[in-house]
């Protein structure tokens, strides 16, 4: 596994059975923590108020039957058998499905798309483009622009519900685990002990996020494994000891009997039963960290049987016990033998913490993906591990999740309302996955629309049944995920909409190449030493923020680079394919364009490595440009050879750099900015030194053979200028934007854009933080966008 870019950066090889077993074991702590603790609260939520446990056992048998078939149809058949196969270069989740769809059909709303993006090695299609062109569904989706927006909104809804689940799952998991104290304490003691203990555990859990999970992650799998084995053993004991014939309740006829007897109350109680699927989406979302075979093996051989035994054991115990003083005792701990109740309680709390950690990490991950696709305001992303891909921490989101999680715990104080809220969030995400998967079956797998419709109707009808049962409990807790989702959806859609409009404004306001070339000494313009990196979202033309900069300050750097950092609809971009470099004007102008491409799961580089790689890429491009673009000996070396501004070259291929004499393995201490050397073979070498560090200077060396027919003194001079500019320092020029509405705009637009967006812009991280620009080298140019 590539420690920085993950398993999706290279073609997957068939793993050995030992590797698969190891990954399956590790997946227990990351993928199945949430799903494995669901028996703590499923029956408790089901029998909260809607239905009662009678002497006939029809209710408990019906609930067990629903749980069994729900776990079989949704996690086992839908996810393990079908959805896990829809991976995006090994990655899974909502954005993986959206990325697949956008690559197979032109339905993306992201700006600055380029044909060159389709040449990325991770931009693979299931079928050749000529086959994909025949799809009528594709033509229909590309034709109707409103479908593009509807598709993105659907993805946003799924994202919002995942974030809502990040609030609700830790609350209900830890609360349900701690609720085991109710059997050992009086009612008064229980009320005053469970809530404070739950809140203390939650505060401790969120406070540890800053340190990352890699230090204690090795404990997660043993904890979940111990919990699953413990739950299986208790379930098996209850089945043998209390009711060996409980397996008969798996007959689907018990579901019909259940609904006939309980009617509307039974239908409403399905909102508690659906909690048995909590965490199923994690199998798909965390696919990139493991493999399909490992996740499939872990679920089918251990997780699924353990869950079934656990639920059957509880049902077996309850089928012989009916006289409970309080409804809250119909839960997990009542079926645990008293002699092992305290060890099980401790193990359950540990397992609930592991399950909560998984959903919190998943929330950070999906927000980071949303941010990379311009669907979420900029937040600070901290990478807590240099070795483990995907270990991130977002401070602002972490503390907001903690506050909301504690508020839910203190506000609801019972499993019923928490279960109603969590159930709606879980089932909504599953419905979104079903809808997106139906589109993937048609567009990406090129299966019959009838097959996609059958998939949608079969699984969609099951999930719609559970969704309706959750939605009917709006006033009993289900309003929480709806309210959170509406607020988040408004924020995400507003941010994305204004980002698109700002890009369109920049496209109309950009200046021409002729204007840039006309900025000469005759206009009083001065070229100062150093490298100027002008950040823009444009992939062509000169951005308006630069024209505003030179209008107010008639000077710019000797080496000018227009940098566009963009996201592409793939999970990872290989380092060798990250940079697209081209000229802006003739060689003597020393102006370039560099497009830096990241996938939606990629880790952005720190500024030191970015500067070094950027200068390396420019130097490599200069030599490529000299050797190949004007390789004909008789062709005159005038500016006409370089004026194709949109002609960009991928820089970073290691074989190509070795062909050009690039030495990318040399690191040492340099005493000078650059040196020009001549040896017996007449090889001229130039060394670039990075910005000085307290003890060590990074050094980059590249060499140009002076006897090569494609190289002349102009190239050497251009390389020397690049060296001198690098030593003089680098300035980062960014636009500081303010958005206002056009005169005559509606009140809603003025409130949304003028007030809402500007509030988010002022209170969220600036682009300099997202791009990791050092404050000492930052130059901000004020820009007013009139939308």
**Domains annotated on the chain, with CATH:** 26-497 (1.20.1740.10), 510-631+711-786 (no CATH)
Average pLDDT over residues 353-362: 88
CA distance 360 to 110: 27
Tokens matching residue 249: 């309740």
Query: DSSP labels for 752-763?
Result: IIIIIIHHHHHH
pLDDT for position 513: 75
Evaluate whether 419 touches 477 at the Cβ level (below 8 Å). yes
Tokens matching residue 640: 């006409």
CA distance 433 to 281: 9
Q: Worst-scoring range by mean pLDDT, 43-57, 91-105, 154-168?
A: 43-57
Task: Give the predicted TM-score (pTM) of the model.
Answer: 0.84
pLDDT digits (tens, 9 = 90+) for 592-630: 999 999 888 887 777 777 888 888 888 888 888 777 655
pLDDT at 385 over 80: no
Query: DSSP labels for 591-602?
Result: EEEEEEEE-TTP
Give Cβ neighbours of residue 220 (< 8 Å, ≥ 6 apart). 28, 29, 30, 33, 213, 354, 357
Cα 65 from chain centroid? 35
pLDDT at 672 over 50: no
pLDDT for position 522: 52
Q: Worst-scoring range by mean pLDDT, 322-331, 349-358, 769-778?
A: 322-331
Phi-psi region of 585 (alpha: psi -120 to 50; beta: other; left: phi over 0): left
Evaluate whether 94 touches 309 at the Cβ level (below 8 Å). no
pLDDT at 565 over 70: yes
Q: How would residue 187 be classed by pLDDT, with cut points 50, 70 and 90?
A: low
pLDDT for position 109: 83
Q: Worst-scoring range by mean pLDDT, 140-144, 191-195, 432-436, 497-501?
A: 191-195
pLDDT digits (tens, 9 = 90+) for 527-563: 889 999 998 888 888 888 888 888 788 888 889 999 9
More confident call, 539 vs 79:
79
Tokens matching residue 279: 């965490």
pLDDT for position 639: 43
Phi-psi region of 303 (alpha: psi -120 to 50; beta: other; left: phi over 0): alpha
pLDDT for position 401: 93
pLDDT for position 701: 46
Q: How would residue 229 be classed by pLDDT, with cut points 50, 70 and 90?
A: very high
CA distance 460 to 566: 35
Share of the chain above pLDDT 90, in %: 31
Q: How would residue 647 be classed by pLDDT, with cut points 50, 70 and 90?
A: low
- Alpha helices by DSSP H, listed for 114-144, are 129-132, 136-143
Distance set, CA 385 to CA 30, 217, 281 (Å) = 16, 12, 25
Average pLDDT over residues 222-230: 94
Q: Taking the CA of residue 585 as centre, how many other CA atoms within 13 Å lie in the half-sphere pointing to its CB?
A: 19
pLDDT digits (tens, 9 = 90+) for 255-294: 999 999 888 888 888 989 999 999 898 888 888 778 889 8
Query: DSSP labels for 193-243?
Result: HHHHHHHHHHHHHHHGGGG-STTTGGGHHHHHHHHHHHHHHHHHHHHHHH-
B/e letters for 193-207, b = 16+ CB within 10 Å, e = fewer, are bbbebbbebbeebbe
pLDDT digits (tens, 9 = 90+) for 489-523: 999 999 999 999 988 888 888 887 777 777 665 55
Q: Taking the CA of residue 784 as centre, how many other CA atoms within 13 Å lie in the half-sphere pointing to its CB?
A: 5
Average pLDDT over residues 332-354: 91
More confident call, 645 vs 445:
445
CA distance 236 to 617: 63
CA distance 705 to 712: 10
pLDDT for position 388: 63
pLDDT for position 71: 95
**Burial of 221: CB neighbours in 10 Å, binned 0-12, 13-18, 19+:** buried
Share of the chain above pLDDT 70, in %: 82
For residue 511, the 8-state DSSP code is B
Q: In what order do the strands lie in the sheet with 649-651?
A: 649-651, 579-583, 591-598, 555-567, 526-535, 730-740, 778-786
Distance set, CA 576 to CA 144, 596, 598 (Å) = 36, 11, 12
pLDDT for position 432: 95
**Burial of 785: CB neighbours in 10 Å, binned 0-12, 13-18, 19+:** buried
CA distance 229 to 451: 39
pLDDT at 134 over 70: no
Q: How would residue 657 be classed by pLDDT, with cut points 50, 70 and 90?
A: very low
pLDDT for position 386: 66
Out of 122-131, 704-713, 721-730, the most confident range is 721-730
Average pLDDT over residues 25-29: 87
CA distance 418 to 477: 6
pLDDT for position 436: 94
Q: Worst-scoring range by mean pLDDT, 25-39, 93-107, 642-656, 770-784?
A: 642-656
- What is the chain's mean pLDDT, rounded? 81
**Would you report the helix, strand and coil content of the chain in percent, each value rounded to 5?**
60, 10, 30
CA distance 780 to 249: 69
Q: How many helices (H) and strands (E) does the chain have?
A: 28, 12
pLDDT at 1 over 70: no
For residue 2, the 8-state DSSP code is B
Tokens matching residue 160: 């919002």
Evaluate whether 683 touches 608 at the Cβ level (below 8 Å). no
CA distance 439 to 446: 10
Average pLDDT over residues 82-103: 88
Q: Report how far apart the first and last C-alpha atoms of the chain are (Å, whole number).
A: 45
Average pLDDT over residues 667-679: 31
pLDDT at 299 over 70: yes
pLDDT at 404 over 90: yes
Q: How would residue 327 be classed by pLDDT, with cut points 50, 70 and 90?
A: very low
Average pLDDT over residues 21-40: 89
User: Of 321, 339, 340, whose CA–CA distance to 331 is shortest?
Assistant: 321
Strand 591-598 to 579-583 pairing: antiparallel
Phi-psi region of 682 (alpha: psi -120 to 50; beta: other; left: phi over 0): left
pLDDT for position 252: 93
Tokens matching residue 96: 């993986």
Q: Worst-scoring range by mean pLDDT, 232-246, 585-599, 649-663, 717-731?
A: 649-663
Tokens matching residue 569: 């609809």
- Alpha helices by DSSP H, listed for 444-570, are 449-471, 479-509, 513-517, 544-552
Average pLDDT over residues 374-385: 83
């Amino acid at each position: 596994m590539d420690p920085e870019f993950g398993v999706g950066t290279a073609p997957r090889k068939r793993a050995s059975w030992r590797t698969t077993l190891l990954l399956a074991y590790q997946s227990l702590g990351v993928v199945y923590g949430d799903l494995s603790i669901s028996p703590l609260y499923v029956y408790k939520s089901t029998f909260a108020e809607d239905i009662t446990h009678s002497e006939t056992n029809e209710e408990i048998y019906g609930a067990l039957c629903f749980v069994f078939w729900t776990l079989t149809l949704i996690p086992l058949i839908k996810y393990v058998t079908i959805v896990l196969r829809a991976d995006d270069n090994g990655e899974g989740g909502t954005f993986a499905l959206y990325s697949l769809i956008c690559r197979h059909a032109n339905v993306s709303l992201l700006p600055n798309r380029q044909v060159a993006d389709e040449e990325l090695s991770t931009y693979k299609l299931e079928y050749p483009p000529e086959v994909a062109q025949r799809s009528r569904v594709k033509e229909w989706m590309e034709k109707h622009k409103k479908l593009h927006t509807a598709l993105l909104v659907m993805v946003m809804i799924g994202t919002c519900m995942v974030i809502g689940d990040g609030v609700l799952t830790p609350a209900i998991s830890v609360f349900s685990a701690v609720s085991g104290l109710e059997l050992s304490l009086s009612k008064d003691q229980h009320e005053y002990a469970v809530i404070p203990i739950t809140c203390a555990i939650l505060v401790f859990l969120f406070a540890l996020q800053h340190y990352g999970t890699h230090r204690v992650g090795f404990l997660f799998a043993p904890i979940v494994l111990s919990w699953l084995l413990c739950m299986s053993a208790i379930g098996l004991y209850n089945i043998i000891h209390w009711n060996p014939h409980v397996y008969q309740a798996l007959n689907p006829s018990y579901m019909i009997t259940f609904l006939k007897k309980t009617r509307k109350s039974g239908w409403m109680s399905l909102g508690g039963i659906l909690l048995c699927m909590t965490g199923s989406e994690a199998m798909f979302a965390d696919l990139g960290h493991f493999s399909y075979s490992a996740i499939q093996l872990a679920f089918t051989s251990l997780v699924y049987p353990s869950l079934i035994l656990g639920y059957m054991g509880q049902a077996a115990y309850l089928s012989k016990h009916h006289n409970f003083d309080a409804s809250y005792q119909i839960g997990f701990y009542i079926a645990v033998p008293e002699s092992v109740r305290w060890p099980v309680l401790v193990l359950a709390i540990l397992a609930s913490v592991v399950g909560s950690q998984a959903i919190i990490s998943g929330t950070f991950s999906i927000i980071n993906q949303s941010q990379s696709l311009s669907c979420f305001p900029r937040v600070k992303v901290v990478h807590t591990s240099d070795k483990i891909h995907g270990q991130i921490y977002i401070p602002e989101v972490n503390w907001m999740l903690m506050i909301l999680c504690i508020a839910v715990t203190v506000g609801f104080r019972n499993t019923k309302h928490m279960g109603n809220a969590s159930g709606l969030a879980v089932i909504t995400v599953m419905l979104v996955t079903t809808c997106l998967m139906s589109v993937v079956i048609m567009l990406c797998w090129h299966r019959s629309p009838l097959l996609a419709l059958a998939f949608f109707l079969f699984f969609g009808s099951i999930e719609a049944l559970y969704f309706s049962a959750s939605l009917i409990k709006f006033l009993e807790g289900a309003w929480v995920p709806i309210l959170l989702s509406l607020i988040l959806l408004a924020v995400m859609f507003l941010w994305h909409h204004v980002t698109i409009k700002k890009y369109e404004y920049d496209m109309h306001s950009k200046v021409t190449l002729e204007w840039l070339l006309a900025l000469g000494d005759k206009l009083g313009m001065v070229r100062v030493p150093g490298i100027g990196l002008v950040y823009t979202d444009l992939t062509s033309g000169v951005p308006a923020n630069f024209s505003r900069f030179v209008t107010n300050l008639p000077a710019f750097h000797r080496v000018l680079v227009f940098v566009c950092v963009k996201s592409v609809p793939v999970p990872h971009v290989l380092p060798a394919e990250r940079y697209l470099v081209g000229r802006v004007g003739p060689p003597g102008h020393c102006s370039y364009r560099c497009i830096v491409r990241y996938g939606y799961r990629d880790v952005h580089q720190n500024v030191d490595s970015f500067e070094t790689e950027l200068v390396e890429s420019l130097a490599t491009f200069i030599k490529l440009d000299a050797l190949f673009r004007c390789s004909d000996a008789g062709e005159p070396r005038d500016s006409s050879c370089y004026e194709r501004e949109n002609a960009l070259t991928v820089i970073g291929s290691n074989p190509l750099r070795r062909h050009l004499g690039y030495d990318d393995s040399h690191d040492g201490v340099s005493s000078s900015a650059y040196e020009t050397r001549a040896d017996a073979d007449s090889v001229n070498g130039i060394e670039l030194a990075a910005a000085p560090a307290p003890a060590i200077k990074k050094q980059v060396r590249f060499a140009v053979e002076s006897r090569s027919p494609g190289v002349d003194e102009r190239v050497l001079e251009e390389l020397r200028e690049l060296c001198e500019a690098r030593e003089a320092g680098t300035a980062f020029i960014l636009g500081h934007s303010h958005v206002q509405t056009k005169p005559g705009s509606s009140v809603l637009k003025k409130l949304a854009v003028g007030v809402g967006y500007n509030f988010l812009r002022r209170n969220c991280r600036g682009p300099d933080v997202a791009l990791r620009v050092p404050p000492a080298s930052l130059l901000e140019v004020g820009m007013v966008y009139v939308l």
